[in-house]
Structure 1
């Protein structure tokens, strides 16, 4: 079992992630010095973690539109305080990011949710460059 640093800020899920209804609290654990990769780790089960990254270094034009009901669920007062993280899948031949369903975190309320965006042109498996 992985030890969790409970001094790290706990992120409460406003809505559970699809398929994981029992996991309501997570922490972000930085995995590299550059701050490009994180483990979104469940407090309830530290073995459950998702590889996530901020999209900007990999997809500089990515600008998801966050709907008002998401802002309300996160208790967002300032949309500029949102942290957008994309879920990464590391494969043997390529690494992809889910641009259709990012995890949105309000930095102030520390509430989060995975949001399926209305823009159906966004890929679930966008290939990431290999030089990260």
Structure 2
């Protein structure tokens, strides 16, 4: 898989005001990506990076619901076109993933957004089981 240019409809949390990113596959780690921003965040970080996991590969039972407005904001008419990613936070005790605020990308257009899921009982920091 090659690098994927992404445009966010709204800057991801903590990366404001950036909306242009590149999704870069991590070599040798299926379903793991680095989201690389282009520019400087409001907090002064240049070309910020986040690790994202492909939920389909690593969390097959994770099936959050988007509102119609959320899906429309990224032009998502068919759920099959959604690429569902979660922010991964590696740490000494293990890796956690944010299931409450996934990054959803319209795979046909490269338009994405990070959504806070409302009325869904999902953790902000879920421990990722080792495979």
Q: Is the contact made by 1:105 and 1:111 (CA closer than 8 Å) also made in structure 2?
A: yes
Match of 1:74 in 2: 74
Q: Residue 71 of structure 2: SS of its match in structure 1?
A: helix
Q: Residue 57 of structure 1: SS of its match in structure 2?
A: helix
Q: Residue 29 of structure 1: SS of its match in structure 2?
A: strand
Whether 1:87 and 2:82 are equivalent positions in the alignment is no
**d(CA) in 1 for partners of 2:130 and 2:3?**
29
Match of 1:29 in 2: 24
Match of 1:50 in 2: 50
**d(CA) in 1 for partners of 2:61 and 2:106?**
21
User: With structure 2 as the length reference, what TM-score do the two structures score?
Assistant: 0.85
How many residue pairs match? The answer is: 125
Q: What is the CA deviation profile of residues 74-94 of structure 1, one whole-angstrom value per residue up to 9, with x for unaligned ones?
A: 012322101000000000011
- Stretches of structure 2 lacking an aligned partner (at least 5 in a row): 41-45
Q: What is the CA deviation profile of residues 58-111 of structure 1, one whole-angstrom value per residue up to 9, with x for unaligned ones?
A: 322110101111111101232210100000000001110000000000011211
Compare 87-96 and 52-61 and name the one that shifted more: 52-61
Q: Which 4+ residue blocks in structure 1 deviate beyond 6 angstroms?
A: none
Q: Is the contact made by 1:100 and 1:119 (CA closer than 8 Å) also made in structure 2?
A: no
In terms of fraction of residues, the more strand-rich structure is: 2
Whether 1:18 and 2:13 are equivalent positions in the alignment is yes
- Stretches of structure 1 lacking an aligned partner (at least 5 in a row): 1-6
User: With structure 1 as the length reference, what TM-score do the two structures score?
Assistant: 0.85
